[in-house]
Amino acid sequence: MTSNDFSSAHHTPRHDLESSPAATVSAGPGPGPAPADLLRRLRARGAGDPVTHVERVPARAGVPAPWPSWAPEELRATFTGRGVTAPWQHQAEAANLAYEGQHVVVATGTASGKSLAYQLPALATLLADPRATVLYLAPTKALAADQLRAVTALELEGVRPACYDGDTPRAEREWIRRHSRFVLTNPDMLHHGILPGHAQWSGFLRRLAYVVIDECHTYRGVFGSHVAHVLRRLRRQCARFGATPVFVLASATSGDPATAAGRLTGLPVTAVTEDASPRGGVTFALWEPPLLPPDTGSSLRVPPPGDDSAPPAPPQPTGDSASPAPSQPTGDHDELRQVRRSALRETADLLADTVAEGVRTLAFVRSRKGAEVVAANARRSLDDAVPGLGDRVAAYRGGYLREERRELERALLHGDLLGLASTNALELGVDLVGLDAVLICGYPGTRASLWQQAGRAGRSGQEALAVLVARDDPLDTYLVHHPEAIFGAPVEATVLDPANPYVLAPQLACAAVEAPLTPADLVLFGDGAKEAVDQLVAAGALRQRPTGWYWRHRERPEVDLRGEGGAPVCVVESSTGRLLGTVDGGSSHFLLHPGAVYLHQGVSYVVDDLDLADGCALVHAEEPDWSTHARDVTDLSVVSVRSYVDAGPVGMFLGEVDVTSQVVSYQRRRIATGEVIDTRPLDLPTRELRTVAVWFTLSPQSLTLAGVQPADVPGALHAAEHAAIGLLPLMATCDRWDIGGLSTAVHPDTEAPTVFVYDGHPGGAGFAERAYGTASAWLRATRDAIVECGCETGCPSCVQSPKCGNGNNPLSKPDAIRVLDVVLANLPQ
438 pairs with which residues across the strands?
362, 466
What pLDDT sits at residue 770?
85
What pLDDT sits at residue 303?
28
Count CA within 13 A, CB hemisphere, residue 188. 14
What pTM was estimated for this model as a whole?
Answer: 0.72
Count CA within 13 A, CB hemisphere, residue 796. 28
Give CA–CA dist 82/665, Å, rounded.
58
Helix, strand, coil tally for the chain in percent (to 5): 35, 25, 40
Q: Would you call the peptide bond into 810 cis, given omega within 30 degrees of 0 as the criterion?
A: yes
Q: Are 471 and 498 in contact (CB under 8 A)?
A: no
One-letter amino acid for residue 73 of the chain: E
Count of beta carbons in the 10 Å neighbourhood of residue 534: 14
Give CA–CA dist 411/755, Å, rounded.
49
The C-alpha torsion from 118 through 119 and 121 to 127, rounded to 10°, is: 160
What pLDDT sits at residue 592?
93
One-letter amino acid for residue 311 of the chain: P
Q: What is residue 293's three-state secondary structure?
A: coil
Give CA–CA dist 404/396, Å, rounded.
9
Q: What is residue 258's three-state secondary structure?
A: helix
Q: Detail the DSSP E strand segments found in 133-222.
A: 133-137, 161-163, 182-185, 208-213
What pLDDT sits at residue 696?
98
Give CA–CA dist 608/595, Å, rounded.
6
What pLDDT sits at residue 151?
95
Comparing CA positions, the residue from 490, 483, 478, 489 lying closest to residue 783 is 478
Cα 60 to Cα 16, 435, 669: the distances in Å are 12, 18, 50
Which residues are CB-neighbours of 295 under 8 A, at least 6 positions away? none
What pLDDT sits at residue 732?
75
In terms of residues, how long is the chain? Answer: 829
Sign of CA dihedral 420, 425, 430, 432: positive
Q: What is residue 108's three-state secondary structure?
A: coil
CA 462 to chain CA centroid, Å, is 28
Give CA–CA dist 605/620, Å, rounded.
5
Which residues are CB-neighbours of 354 under 8 A, at least 6 positions away? 32, 38, 42, 361, 419, 436, 437, 439
Comparing CA positions, the residue from 706, 702, 708, 742 lying closest to residue 724 is 742
Cα 614 to Cα 223, 582, 587, 686: the distances in Å are 25, 13, 16, 18
Give CA–CA dist 614/801, Å, rounded.
33
What pLDDT sits at residue 322?
60
Give CA–CA dist 428/449, Å, rounded.
10
Give CA–CA dist 438/467, Å, rounded.
6
Comparing CA positions, the residue from 482, 497, 488, 383 lying closest to residue 733 is 497
Give CA–CA dist 116/124, Å, rounded.
11
Give CA–CA dist 517/522, Å, rounded.
8
610 pairs with which residues across the strands?
617
Count of beta carbons in the 10 Å neighbourhood of residue 790: 11
Cα 293 to Cα 96, 298, 341: the distances in Å are 61, 9, 10
**Rg for the chain (alpha carbons), in Å?**
26
Q: Are 137 and 211 in contact (CB under 8 A)?
A: yes
Give CA–CA dist 139/16, Å, rounded.
19
One-letter amino acid for residue 818 of the chain: R
Count CA within 13 A, CB hemisphere, residue 106. 30
Give CA–CA dist 146/137, Å, rounded.
12
Give CA–CA dist 26/459, Å, rounded.
7
Tell me which residues of the chain have a pLDDT lower than 70: 1-32, 294-339, 397-400, 425-434, 459-461, 563-566, 601-602, 672-674, 735, 802-803, 805, 807
Which residues are CB-neighbours of 359 under 8 A, at least 6 positions away? 31, 32, 33, 38, 418, 436, 437, 465
What pLDDT sits at residue 802?
67
- Structure letter (DSSP) for residue 424: G
Buried b / exposed e along 744-783 (16+ C-beta atoms within 10 A): bbbbeebebbbbbbbbbbbbbbbbbbbbbebbeebbbbbb
Which residues are CB-neighbours of 342 under 8 A, at least 6 positions away? 289, 332, 333, 334, 472
Give CA–CA dist 244/526, Å, rounded.
19
* Angle of CA points 74, 77, 78, to nearest 5°: 85
Sign of CA dihedral 651, 652, 655, 660: positive
> Which helix (H) or strand (E) segment is 350 a member of?
helix 343-356
- Structure letter (DSSP) for residue 577: -
55 pairs with which residues across the strands?
4, 284
Q: Are 726 and 785 in contact (CB under 8 A)?
A: yes
- Structure letter (DSSP) for residue 493: B
